[in-house]
Amino acid sequence: MYAYPVTLHLEDGSTRVSCIDVPGMACVGDTLEQALADAVVTLEMALSLYVMQRMTIPLPSPTTPGQLLVRLPALSVAKVALWNAMLHQRVSKAELARRLGVNRPQVDRLVNLLHRSKIEKVEQALRMLGWRIELAVVKAAV
């Protein structure tokens, strides 16, 4: 579900990656493999801006021919879901902290895509909002 389609641009011996769903996301690599590896971190950084601006994080659009997918790590997927649920339900960070019995900075870290929280803590916060995590492991395409 949280696999964002990206477009590759070959320029002067390097590969630039962009994402129509997240206009602030762009990175460059000397090789396709490097560009795609960097694209994950760059996507997380770009999505973090939505949290900073208190905006809903966009979901990926369908893939079109010629696009590749950049998949968010499981922890980031959970954080995106948590942030979007908070906005949808109009639950502030302070209110979620109160419900969880923690301090506000702890909730700040739970929605920070660049902070490596424990997934159990994000899962607990999601439960407070009426959501749960379901995990599936599938064979990767070659």
Instruction: Indicate if 33 and 51 belong to the same structural domain.
Output: yes
Q: Give the end of a domain, one of 71, 89, 112.
A: 71
Structure tokens at 135: 């995990």
Instruction: Indicate if 13 and 61 belong to the same structural domain.
Output: yes
* 96-127 pLDDT tens trace: 999 999 999 999 999 999 999 999 999 999 99
* 6-53 pLDDT tens trace: 999 988 889 999 999 999 899 999 988 899 999 999 999 999 999 999
Q: Is residue 106 part of a domain?
A: yes
Instruction: Indicate if 7 and 51 belong to the same structural domain.
Output: yes
Number of structural domains (the chain) is 2
The answer to whether 46 touches 57, Cβ cutoff 8 Å, is: no
- Write the CATH number for 11: 3.30.160.250
Return all residues near 33 (Cβ < 8 A) that are at least 6 apart: none
- β strands within 12-140, DSSP E: 14-18, 26-29, 68-71
